[in-house]
Chains A and B, each alone.
Chain A
Amino acid sequence: MQKRLVLNQQQIQIILKRFCHQLIENHDNFENTVLLGLQPRGIILLDRIVEELEKISGVKVPAGYLDATFHRDDFRRRDFPLKANETKIDFLVEGKKVILVDDVLYKGRSVRAAMDAMIAFGRPQKVELMVLVDRKLTRDYPIMPDYFGIRVNTIDTQYVVVEWASQGQPEDAVWITEKEK
């Protein structure tokens, strides 16, 4: 199976730092800003960003985990329903600036479902999207990221795999692989 490294640990670290500085630039002292990581994989990136932001600015930005399983548009169109993950949000998003965080933006359907799930917690003032990898050629919905780590040209027969050292992988890395036929 073909496998191509797109980002290595050092490059991912540089991107995380860049994300933090972009957020500080746009959100100042985060007085009215919250971060929501999309389950299941966006929460790993979210945790890293929250940690990094605290190191750089000394601010612990309110953050939560959002699961959009019950808001997906493919219910009853799959052979069986997807298993839900934990939603853990101990604040309201009413009137807040919300930054949704995910690892890969592919078709845009998960983000649409996530926005639907998010408004159960109030009407946000503004919503932004941050992703580590933007697969720009494969979108089904008109959704674009406000912050992206890298933009890649991939097709549907390829996977983008994000590996994290904190999840037992040798190191942080992003790969593009071919789907097995």
Chain B
Amino acid sequence: MSQLSTRHLLGIKDLTSADIQLILETAENFKEVINRPIKKVPSLRDITIANIFFENSTRTRLSFELAEKRLSADVVNFSSSNSSVKKGETLVDTVNNILSMKVDMVVMRHSSPGAPHFLARNVKANIVNAGDGTHEHPTQALLDAFSMREKLGDLQGKKVAIIGDILHSRVALSNIFCLQKLGAEVMVCGPITLLPKHIESLGVKVELDVRKALAWCDVANVLRIQLERQQIKYFPSLREYSLYYGINKKMLEELDKEIVVMHPGPINRGVELSSDVADSDHAIILQQVENGVAVRMAVLYLLAGVRA
């Protein structure tokens, strides 16, 4: 089967295991494409995509834009800081105005969880969620899974620890859904104040000691402390967080096995990861960024590919 079960990518929760496999397999083909001398294919040349970002982003926006351009789509970019949203326009009005300029797909990042779902119900275009608040960030989870598979092969039975600020992380939630659908075991680890209540009901292990989490896992996916989403203090100081949850080279050397270290970026060096880990052979952080373009090309290609 070479068709997704959905016409939007709103979250990993809505995807089937077969959908995820199809996206990852198609991304392998696109990874070969982006390593050619000419890194462009003409598939989406009659498609226009709007990248609508109501929240800051460097990697994701550049990655989507490159993916779109390498598929030959026409691209328009929009960020809320210099738009009519500031003048009081609603989300649906803003997007419908953009769509009336014959835009076929919308890639949206928004600070409100569920914003892309709302949009998908109210506008005609295909919607791709590029992060909605603390809810989901599906393409990040897909590129993480792709990078893990590239390094470790099939993820069935592999152990992945997600370490850091789980409470405010959309990457964590999407990763949990994605990894479980691919048969991996997932553990979350962080200070108790940064773990959502009842997170174990998602079928994940919970661990408070980062050393135990590292000893358990094959892959450590380390997340940033999202200070911008924290209205109150969840731990005494960054220094203390780093002391208890920061991962350094010595901790990795004490393990009796090699583990893979991942990070969705941006890294706060010296807080969750020390520089000697971030720049070591354990880390595949820059491969994740490269794979992000291939995975996003696969998502856009598969969503756009149904009969017009």
Q: Mark contacts of B286-304 with chain A using CB atoms, 8 A cut-off: 1 yes-contact digit, 0 otherwise.
A: 0000000000000001101
Q: How many residues on chain A are close to B (CB under 8 Å)? A: 24
Q: List 28 A-B contacts (CB under 8 A).
A: A70-B29, A70-B41, A70-B43, A70-B301, A71-B43, A76-B46, A76-B304, A76-B307, A76-B308, A78-B307, A79-B3, A79-B306, A80-B2, A80-B3, A80-B306, A81-B2, A82-B2, A83-B2, A83-B25, A84-B26, A86-B32, A87-B33, A120-B33, A120-B40, A120-B41, A121-B36, A121-B37, A121-B38
A67 to B29, CA, bound (A): 9
Q: Are B37 and A120 in contact (CB under 8 A)?
A: yes
Closest residue on chain A to residue B25 by CB atoms: A83
| A82: chain B residues within 8 A (beta carbon) | 2
Partner of A77, one of B40, B42, B304, B308: B308
CB distance from B41 to the nearest CB of A (A): 4
| A92: chain B residues within 8 A (beta carbon) | 37
Asked whether any CB of chain A lies closer than 8 Å to the CB of B305, the reply is yes
Q: Are B29 and A76 in contact (CB under 8 A)?
A: no
Q: Mark contacts of B19-37 with chain A using CB atoms, 8 A cut-off: 1 yes-contact digit, 0 otherwise.
A: 0001001101100110011
CB distance from A18 to the nearest CB of B (A): 33
| Count of A-B residue pairs with CB < 8 Å | 68
Do A120 and B306 form a contact, CB below 8 Å, given A80-B2, A81-B2?
A: no
Q: How many residues on chain B are close to A (CB under 8 Å)? A: 26
Asked whether any CB of chain B lies closer than 8 Å to the CB of A122, the reply is yes
Q: Which of B's residues lie within 8 Å of A, judged by CB?
A: 2-3, 22, 25-26, 28-29, 32-33, 36-44, 46, 301-302, 304-308
Asked whether any CB of chain B lies closer than 8 Å to the CB of A69, the reply is yes
| B2: chain A residues within 8 A (beta carbon) | 80-83
Asked whether any CB of chain B lies closer than 8 Å to the CB of A116, the reply is yes
Q: Mark contacts of A107-127 with chain B using CB atoms, 8 A cut-off: 1 yes-contact digit, 0 otherwise.
A: 000000000110111100000
Asked whether any CB of chain B lies closer than 8 Å to the CB of A175, the reply is no
The 9 closest A-B pairs by CB, nearest first: A81-B305, A80-B3, A70-B41, A83-B2, A84-B29, A120-B38, A76-B308, A120-B36, A70-B43
Q: Are B38 and A81 in contact (CB under 8 A)?
A: no
Asked whether any CB of chain B lies closer than 8 Å to the CB of A75, the reply is yes
A92 to B46, CA, bound (A): 29
| B42: chain A residues within 8 A (beta carbon) | 70-71, 116
| B22: chain A residues within 8 A (beta carbon) | 83
Interface of B is mostly: loop
| B306: chain A residues within 8 A (beta carbon) | 76, 79-81
Q: Are A75 and B305 in contact (CB under 8 A)?
A: yes
Q: Are A81 and B3 in contact (CB under 8 A)?
A: yes
CB distance from B19 to the nearest CB of A (A): 12
| B308: chain A residues within 8 A (beta carbon) | 76-77
A79 to B302, CA, bound (A): 11
Q: Are A80 and B43 in contact (CB under 8 A)?
A: no
Q: Are B41 and A71 in contact (CB under 8 A)?
A: yes
A2 to B214, CA, bound (A): 64
| B25: chain A residues within 8 A (beta carbon) | 83
CB distance from A73 to the nearest CB of B (A): 9
A19 to B305, CA, bound (A): 38
Q: Are B26 and A83 in contact (CB under 8 A)?
A: yes
Most buried by A among B32, B36, B41: B41
Q: Are A81 and B301 in contact (CB under 8 A)?
A: yes
Q: Are A77 and B33 in contact (CB under 8 A)?
A: no
| B305: chain A residues within 8 A (beta carbon) | 75-76, 78, 80-81
Q: Are B36 and A75 in contact (CB under 8 A)?
A: no
A87 to B29, CA, bound (A): 7
Which A residues between 76 and 104 are near B, CB-CB below 8 angstroms? 76-87, 92
A92 to B37, CA, bound (A): 9
CB distance from B143 to the nearest CB of A (A): 18
Give 4 new A-B contacts, CB below 8 A, not counting A78-B307, A82-B2, A120-B41: A67-B29, A71-B42, A77-B307, A77-B308
